[in-house]
Structure 1
Amino acid sequence: MTPQLAVIGLVVDDMAKSLAFYRRLGLDIPSSADAEPHVAAPLPGGLQLMWDTVATVRSFDPSWTPPTGSSRSGLAFLCSSPSDVDRVYAALTSAGHHGHLPPWDAFWGQRYAVVHDPDGNGVDLFCPLGE
């Protein structure tokens, strides 16, 4: 069998803060998960997004350390319209999340913005300009 991408995992310092951020992006995560060391949420297409606390990861990989500098990966969320990119970006930054790149019309034909989640991961918001 060919391996299949099934999970995208994030290591978080504060589970409740991270889950609150992703709930604002529309993920259905029960509030009871805020105190858990490991959480999974289904995504469209059968993928899952999973969160683990630093302590959980270090329980099986004691030498794990967080990356420094800019990350080489990120998540991207498709919005329903170009104006929705602006709305979601404003809602997240108004809630105190760091806006890295405010919405703009990208040369590749999308409305695009980048906000950081509570652990500094870049989360892109986008929608084709023609929609």
Structure 2
Amino acid sequence: MTPRLDLVGTAVADMARTLDFYRRLGLDIPAEADSEQHVEVTLPGGVRLAWDTVEMVRTFHPGWTAPTGSPRVNLAFRCADPAEVDRYWAELTGAGFHGELPPWDAFWGQRYAVLHDPDGTGVDLYAPLGG
């Protein structure tokens, strides 16, 4: 068997705030998860998305420090249409989350926007333009 991508994990400073961000994107995460040290959800297609508190990460990697600078990885969420990109952008930035690049019609044929989750992970919203 060859390895297959199964889980994308991130370290978070504030689990409840981070999960609030992803719930607003439609992920089904139970409210009681807000106080957990490790949370994961299975996405359509089977890949899992997981969050660990910094304290949890340091239980197995005591010298871990948060990266600095711009994120090197972005999670991209496909929206139903361009209006949905705009709607999620407005909802998330209106809730105080950082909007990096406001929605625009990209030359590659998508409505595109970039946000950051509470820990600085890049989160892209996109939808095909036109028919």
TM-score w.r.t. length of structure 2: 0.98
Measure, in 2, the Cα distance between the counterparts of 1:71 and 1:120.
Answer: 7
Q: What residue number does 1:29 align with?
A: 29
Name the counterpart of 2:89: 89
RMSD value, Cα? 0.6
Aligned to 2:45: 45
Deviation at 1:33, TM superposition (A): 0.3
Q: How does 1:1-131 map to 2 (within 5 A)?
A: 1-131=1-131
Distance 1:127 1:72 in 2: 22
SS at match of 1:87: helix
Give 1:86 deviation, angstroms.
0.4
Alpha-carbon distance between aligned partners in 2 of 1:100 and 1:71, rounded to the nearest angstrom: 11
**CA-CA distance at 1:102 after TM superposition:** 0.4
Query: SS of the residue aligned with 1:44?
Result: coil
Cα distance in 1 for partners of 2:73, 2:82 equals 23
Number of residue pairs aligned between Structure 1 and Structure 2: 131
Unpaired segments ≥5 residues, structure 1: none
Gap runs ≥5 in structure 2: none
User: Match of 2:76, as an amino acid?
Assistant: A
Cα deviation for residue 71 of structure 1 reads 1.4
TM-score by length of 1: 0.98
Quote the sequence identity (%).
66
Q: Deviations over 1:4-42 (max 9, x none)?
A: 100000100000000000000000000000000000111
Residues 55-101 of structure 1, C-alpha deviations (whole Å, 9 max, x = no match): 00000001111101111101000001001100110000000011100
SS at match of 1:123: strand
Q: CA deviation at 1:44?
A: 0.8
